[in-house]
Structure 1
Amino acid sequence: RLDRWLYAAIECLEYFPDQFLVMVSQQLPESTNNPSSLNTYKKIIFDVIMKYYSQKKDSLLATQDFDIHSGIIELIEKGKTDQALEALQLYLKLLAPNISEELHRLLTFLSIASESEGYRLQKQFENRFVIIKTCTKFILQNRTLSKPQAELLTQFLMDNHSELFKAPLTLLELTSRRLQSLLEGQDPDTNSGFTFCQRITAKEYEDQKQQTNQYLLALVQEIDNDPTVPLKQKKKLI
């Protein structure tokens, strides 16, 4: 059975240009039957993954989405992790499919590589520390965020990588409700799940419309009867 660390790493490599794959194949040892060669294997692949993302100009999460990133970070800082997770789930649905899948694979790999009992990336530091410090810039580059904030978001993404790319429950509920309305021949917008203003009946609308017209008529008459309003201005207003 393929080592889960290696499996996650290979999943990442599928998104790499050919020259990086050639680089990996040229450096790999011939055998991985003993632990030392397996660790050599992992070190080579890890270094190539780090090199690839280090030379990329843009991070996976777009810089222009700063408001979304900062809002999610604020939720995490306030301990509102459920809302932060749901916000991230919705946000990630907006990413291009290839970016979303690449991010998913990278986060899965980073999460596995950060495990303390796994292959030791650096002797002097814990794996999680190394991953956070090294890889945050691959995921998020935003000068308006402090380094601790960016690292906090990266940690949250890694810790929740298995849930992030699922459809949020509220979205599933709204979709189910809309589908049911369509199947029943109803107007799905009447039960969309979002209410931006108070819904009224057609009769209430007509009553309010008539009342508004009466108010406007009374205002026009008041202006017309007001001797202080010049005739020229009355003609403009009425």
Structure 2
Amino acid sequence: MTSNFGKGAKLRRSSIVACTLMFCASLSAWALAPRNPMAALNKNIRLETAIPVSFGDWHLDSGGVQSVVNPQQKGLLDALYSQTLTRTYVNALGQRIMLSIAYGEMQSGDIELHRPEVCYVAQGFSLETVGESSIKLEERESPFPIQRLIAQTNSRHEPISYWMRVGDYVVASGNDQRLARLMHGFKGWIPDGILFRVSSISDDNEAAYHLQERFVVDLLTTVDTNTRGFLIGPVSPEEVGSKR
């Protein structure tokens, strides 16, 4: 028969093992938790000055004929984003593009970029998902992904193109957004994030998307290298390494 002393010793040993395992698990979680904010790499970029008011055939439309839909209501904007920029541009033909950029310094926990699928519906639009596409720049080997939508009210038909940059990666879907956060977390980084959206009021979806792509290419080829990287991430895996 096992004595009470033996049982007690065995119980104490089990408790010590359990406590040791719990301590090790806690230590591992602490060690693996991301701590390095990527926002520190972009602290000198201010959207208001980094994005030019005129470039190529485009200039700022001071008339304000078309209103840009805000990414969220002000209270939520302040909680999610450290910088936002909304402008309307017009070209020589009178064609207009509405631009909205929202920048969040931290993409972790419940703090993340809110996609247009959320904010447009919240403001009374019906929304149709057209699907994913891509934009190619001459100086980059690979195109980057964008998402296309159509927002509709009784009086407004608005084709939309957008992408998100989460840390080093450009993504166009919620699943890829979460995956990018996870990949940075494994490396010890807390990613920052950009939501870049362009749209126009047009009943011709194909022409609207073509115009939006032209606007984006004109803008990205005009801004300096740092701003371009801020908007669509680094050029290559080698540049990712050089930033660290």
Higher relative contact order (CA 8 A, sep 6+): 2
More strand by share: 2
**TM-score when normalising by structure 1:** 0.20
More helix by share: 1
Answer with 1 or 2: which has the greater Rg. Answer: 1
**TM-score when normalising by structure 2:** 0.20
